[in-house]
Chains A and B, each alone.
Chain A
Amino acid sequence: MRPIMLKGHERSLTQVKFNREGDLLFSVAKDKSASVWYSFNGERLGTFEGHIGTIWSIDVDSKTELAVTGSADFSAKLWEVNNGKCIKTWKLKTPAKRVEFSPNNDKLLIVTDQVMGEKGTITILPINSNFETREEQTDEPLLIIETAEGAEKVTVAGWSYAGKYIIAGHSNGVVSKYDAETGELHKTVKVHDLTITDLQFSQDKTYFITSSKDKTAHILDVDTLTIMKTYEADAPMNSACITPVKNFVILGGGQDARDVTTTSSKQGKFEARFYHKIFEDEIGRVKGHFGPLNYVAIHPNGTMYASGGEDGFVRLHHFDKSYYDFKYDVERTAEATGAVEVKTPEITA
């Protein structure tokens, strides 16, 4: 698995994301520009210029027409992907920590930070995705979900299947579920001991994985918020994703940035860890970064993954044949007896 190093950012990465087809990779970092790359060969397609602070988050709609970025400069910006033009800037009261398009591209969710006396919110804005008139976007949010009294601030959030719910992760390890239409709080569950650092959904968005500083990751069911699986690591985890095709999850993290200077790269655990999604066993690690991994993202077809590190690099790994061949005996037997459908992806050379 020979990685492609994407060197384009000057500071630590904050998020990396594939588009729906997986041919493009979007990355944002603590420097002020977002980058778009060809995932096949790692060539840079271009950048989105305009923010004047750290960009915390990026998302791209399912048609790869619009991209949105949330920044520490108290704004979120909407971009045209094909030409890199900024078509809308939303001014916010606090930094935007997480942005995400709803599954049918008609809404946008922004997690705003809880700082300077302002309450943290999940702000939902309507998006005009009509190709002709898309430069006309409204400033009026559809809904603002404020952090409830007594609850800790929201760190990450995302849309569930069909945009029905919004699932949020809080800084005290609590996961909560809101109705995306009304903002009504359905349920909260305490799943982690420390802050939740990432929340990514499965492809059908019926379950999701959370990662936390408490060195664990959990898979939860959207409908009931029950913990289905638990993955234990030996270092704080910053990100986790669920692989399509193979029943794996990928975790990324490592010794905290402030402790890094006191440890060597061998001990810092700056590796991407692969766990078996169902058996919860660790099955492998991928070395390479020399700082903690801040984000891991998987190609929608499960053929490669990208990791963004504190070290300022994005590493793009195309999976080898051995990755697809790896199977537990149990899985093999199940496939042989026809209990489960066998999915084999096309492997691009």
Chain B
Amino acid sequence: MPVEEEQEIRIDESAIPIDDIDFSDLEAKYAIPEDDSLSHFIIVDGAPIAPESKVAVLKKVLTKVFSAAGKVTDMYMPVENGQTKGFVFVEFEDISSVDIACKKLNNKKLDVKHTLFVNKLSDVEKYGVKGHVSDEFVEPKIEPYHESPYLKSWLQDYNGRDQFVLQKGDEVGVYWSKNKNDPEPAVEPRQNWTQAFVRFSPKGSYLFSMHEQGIQAWGGPEFSRLKRFFHPNARLIDFSPCENYLVSLSPTPIEVPAEDHPARASFPFGPESEGHKLIIWDIKSGLPTRTFALPPNLENEKKMVWPLVKWSYDDKYCARMGPDALAVYETSDFQLLDKKLIKIEGIVDFEWAPAGVKLAASKNKDADQHVLTYWTPEQVNQTARVALMQIPSREVIRTVNLFQVSDCKLHWQDEARFLCVKVDRHTKSKKTIFTSLEFFHLFEKDIPVEKLELKDSVINFSWEPKGERFVTISILDVGGNVNPAIARNTLTFFGPEEEKIKNKTKLNIKKWTAFASFEKKHSNTIEFSPKGRFVAVATIIGNNHGEIEFYDLDYDGTNKESSTVNNTGSGNNKYFALTDIAWDPSGRYLAAWSSSWRHKIENGYRLYDFAGHLLREEVIDQFKTFYWRPRPQSLLSSNDRKKVRKNLREYSAQFEEADAMEADVATRELILKRRKLFEDWNSWRSEIEKIQKDLGLTQEEETEDVNEEVVEEIREEVLEEKEEVVE
């Protein structure tokens, strides 16, 4: 025991000659570094030259200016011939204030004539003294230029196939979709490509993988690494719509290493990012453009609202919501628009218009405007309100007041022609919820608002892409608890009713009406084909009713009169283990899968065509996710598109032939493979049989000698015998 030992060893301290002991090592170790007295100082040039009498006033002014960086402990202004010399020494209490002062107050305009130049005094010593800095010019080393691979190579596929990602176990692979056939790997599937998930950027150019140290971007035909984004433990990522910027969020705050730390030189963040969790990156350069601390109300939040940063359609602006305010940034410099927050009392949610809005009221009618919408709940003496705001003018161009609101959801039509606000309203008793839909006609004069009151509570809403129709899933809220096993959801299809306005070729939408509805459904998910017309309605998770239904809105763009719905159904597409569905970017196929992230049952994926025919099914143990690679918007003009539609027969004939060829090749291969397997097996069997025969082990077929005898037994059992006397 160490304690006992200590007691045993007794040292007579007086006997030790202290002077003889060499303490130099300890002294060196615990030496307090001499305070570099210069490091607390800054030197300010460009201050006004003033008479001595004004020094006190000037000092007061300057102290106020520099207090912005930290507490000023002293200020010295040299005076010569009764005039100040135009420069000032300022001492700060805190060393960190020196950095802040140099960064923030350098080039500060004191007034029209005077601009302050701020430097660290230690820097003046370091660089200003002759001999400290070499006079000779050393050419900076320029990193050799790395050519980045062609990021859009996959779009040049001759057959126009789509790509998708399959994540199974630790393996991630990118494949070419070959609908019915085995997908063809675009690159060799990689083990541990990501530690969590992978994401494509919105136009599909980049693939992002998540790692402990941060995020990596991959792209090009070989999916080579393009950039690394250092963000430890990043959990969530998001992109700007034009894929210029990446937003990442990590639960671990940034810790900037100390000034002299070796890691500092390569550390991407400055001291101002200390403690921040949210980072916006420039994807092309791989550098951070701006970091943010998490709003205090979101700290410790278990379920994070995501995305935290929302972008205008063209990446020009981005915005974040704080308590009672909206912060809009210009992406040119990532500074607050007009250096001011937009105060909005009680703001709950906002959305940018997903496309440029041509405002009829605006002077320049054809210019695309940035519009965002937000809503605020009922507050004291104020109704709930949905408002449209134009950016950068901050002008509120339309508001609608609402009553008895319990929640609002903002649904933009993807061309920003309409905005639908789904308002969940409660009855006066607050017992049941019903929904009304408010439609904003963005492209019309004065932005008229249509109201559609429903009896049901709408739980899901989806616009038809590039269309004017929408689909809702609703449920009649009767209050109280209800048996979830009973299908009570109603699926409703709405279409516009149009009226012709004089002297106008364009039709104006008067109101929306339901043109079809299906009751007693379990469905809870709506996925519109990205090309419109077809819609998949699914039941996901929840009492084993996993199921997908396909609807054709039967609308070919020419015949506007008849909007009917066909359940293309092709029987029932039950898929009990279903967890997710997604359309491919061309709207030809629908992928449905069962992810092991959600449950461990029948993991794998299925591919359907748009009419709901099952093309392919693969059951994969530990299958995690299926992910279509997005495509950028088509470059065809609307005229080109019309032309394609007109000559569809010719085009489709070409593709059908290619499909048939493809299918044939696959079948042929399969047949050849089977033939070989069959021959191999038979030759192996005959070999074995020969060996057995040589060994004399083959038993003669006795079965032929055995006379099979069929014995039929008829058994009679007397159950009861009774004698009755008939009178």
Residues of A within 8 A of B (CB): 21, 161-162, 164, 204, 206-207, 215, 221, 223, 228, 234, 247, 263-264, 266-267, 269, 277-280, 328-331, 334, 339-340
Q: Which residues of A contact B697 (CB under 8 A)?
A: 161-162, 164
Chain B minimum-CB-distance residue to A263: B601
Given A162-B697, A234-B602, A264-B544, A328–B674 Cβ distance below 8 Å?
Answer: yes
Complex Cα distance, B601 from A266, in Å, reads 11
Whether A267 lies near B544 (C-beta < 8 A) is yes
Chain B minimum-CB-distance residue to A62: B702
Cβ contacts B653-679/A at 8 Å (1 or 0 each): 000000000000000000100110110
Which of these, A161, A207, A329, A340, contacts B682 with CB under 8 Å? A340
Complex Cα distance, B697 from A223, in Å, reads 14
Complex Cα distance, B577 from A204, in Å, reads 41
Whether A339 lies near B682 (C-beta < 8 A) is yes
A-B contact pairs, 18 of them (CB 8 A): A204-B692, A206-B688, A206-B692, A221-B688, A223-B691, A228-B681, A234-B604, A234-B621, A266-B544, A267-B544, A267-B577, A267-B601, A267-B602, A278-B674, A279-B678, A334-B678, A334-B682, A340-B682
Whether B677 lies near A279 (C-beta < 8 A) is yes
User: Is B507 among interface residues, defined by CB-CB distance under 8 A?
Assistant: no
Whether A279 lies near B674 (C-beta < 8 A) is yes
Cβ contacts B686-710/A at 8 Å (1 or 0 each): 0011011000011000000010100
Complex Cα distance, B708 from A162, in Å, reads 25
Q: Which residues of B contact A339 (CB under 8 A)?
A: 682
Given A161-B692, A266-B544, A267-B544, A330–B684 Cβ distance below 8 Å?
Answer: no
- What distance in Å separates the Cβ of A179 from its nearest Cβ neighbour in chain B? 15
Cβ contacts B277-296/A at 8 Å (1 or 0 each): 00000000000000000000
- What distance in Å separates the Cβ of A344 from its nearest Cβ neighbour in chain B? 15
Q: Which residues of A contact B674 (CB under 8 A)?
A: 278-279, 328, 330
Q: Which residues of A contact B601 (CB under 8 A)?
A: 263, 267
Complex Cα distance, B603 from A215, in Å, reads 13
Q: Which residues of A contact B682 (CB under 8 A)?
A: 334, 339-340
Whether A228 lies near B677 (C-beta < 8 A) is no
Chain B minimum-CB-distance residue to A40: B710
Whether A215 lies near B621 (C-beta < 8 A) is yes
Q: Which residues of A contact B691 (CB under 8 A)?
A: 223
Chain B minimum-CB-distance residue to A328: B674
Which of these, B544, B619, B677, B678, contacts A234 with CB under 8 Å? B619
Complex Cα distance, B675 from A331, in Å, reads 8
Q: Which residues of A contact B576 (CB under 8 A)?
A: 266-267
Complex Cα distance, B681 from A279, in Å, reads 10
The SS class assigned to the A binding surface is loop
User: Which 5 pairs across A and B sit closest by C-beta, in order of nearness?
Assistant: A330-B674, A278-B681, A234-B619, A162-B697, A206-B688
Complex Cα distance, B684 from A278, in Å, reads 12
- What distance in Å separates the Cβ of A248 from its nearest Cβ neighbour in chain B? 13
Complex Cα distance, B682 from A277, in Å, reads 12
Cβ contacts B432-459/A at 8 Å (1 or 0 each): 0000000000000000000000000000
Whether B681 lies near A330 (C-beta < 8 A) is no
Q: Which residues of B contact A328 (CB under 8 A)?
A: 674
Q: Which residues of B contact A278 (CB under 8 A)?
A: 674, 677-678, 681
Query: With contacts A221-B688, A234-B604 known, what are 6 further pairs, Cβ within 8 A?
Result: A21-B708, A206-B688, A228-B681, A263-B601, A329-B671, A330-B678
Whether B675 lies near A330 (C-beta < 8 A) is yes
- What distance in Å separates the Cβ of A230 from its nearest Cβ neighbour in chain B? 12
Chain B minimum-CB-distance residue to A269: B602
Given A161-B697, A267-B576, A330–B671 Cβ distance below 8 Å?
Answer: yes
Chain B minimum-CB-distance residue to A255: B601
Q: Which chain B residues in 598-630 approach chain A with CB under 8 Å?
A: 601-602, 604, 619, 621
Q: Which residues of A contact B619 (CB under 8 A)?
A: 234
- What distance in Å separates the Cβ of B184 from its nearest Cβ neighbour in chain A? 20
Cβ contacts B571-603/A at 8 Å (1 or 0 each): 000001100000000000000000000000110
Q: Which residues of B contact A266 (CB under 8 A)?
A: 544, 576
Complex Cα distance, B577 from A221, in Å, reads 37
Q: Which residues of B contact A269 (CB under 8 A)?
A: 602
Complex Cα distance, B693 from A161, in Å, reads 12
Q: Which residues of A contact B678 (CB under 8 A)?
A: 278-279, 330-331, 334
- What distance in Å separates the Cβ of A198 from its nearest Cβ neighbour in chain B? 20
Q: Which residues of A contact B708 (CB under 8 A)?
A: 21
- What distance in Å separates the Cβ of B717 from its nearest Cβ neighbour in chain A? 14
Chain B minimum-CB-distance residue to A329: B671
- What distance in Å separates the Cβ of B701 from its nearest Cβ neighbour in chain A? 11
Q: Which residues of B contact A223 (CB under 8 A)?
A: 688, 691
Cβ contacts B11-29/A at 8 Å (1 or 0 each): 0000000000000000000
- What distance in Å separates the Cβ of A29 from its nearest Cβ neighbour in chain B? 27
Complex Cα distance, B706 from A334, in Å, reads 31
Whether A228 lies near B692 (C-beta < 8 A) is no
Complex Cα distance, B688 from A247, in Å, reads 17
Complex Cα distance, B460 from A189, in Å, reads 56
Chain B minimum-CB-distance residue to A234: B619
- What distance in Å separates the Cβ of B578 from its nearest Cβ neighbour in chain A? 12
Q: Which residues of B contact A247 (CB under 8 A)?
A: 681
Q: Which residues of B contact A330 (CB under 8 A)?
A: 671, 674-675, 678
Complex Cα distance, B213 from A250, in Å, reads 49
Most B CB within 10 A of own CB, among A206, A207, A215, A334: A206
Q: Which residues of A contact B604 (CB under 8 A)?
A: 234
Q: Which residues of B contact A329 (CB under 8 A)?
A: 671
Most B CB within 10 A of own CB, among A204, A228, A330: A330
- What distance in Å separates the Cβ of B275 from its nearest Cβ neighbour in chain A? 44
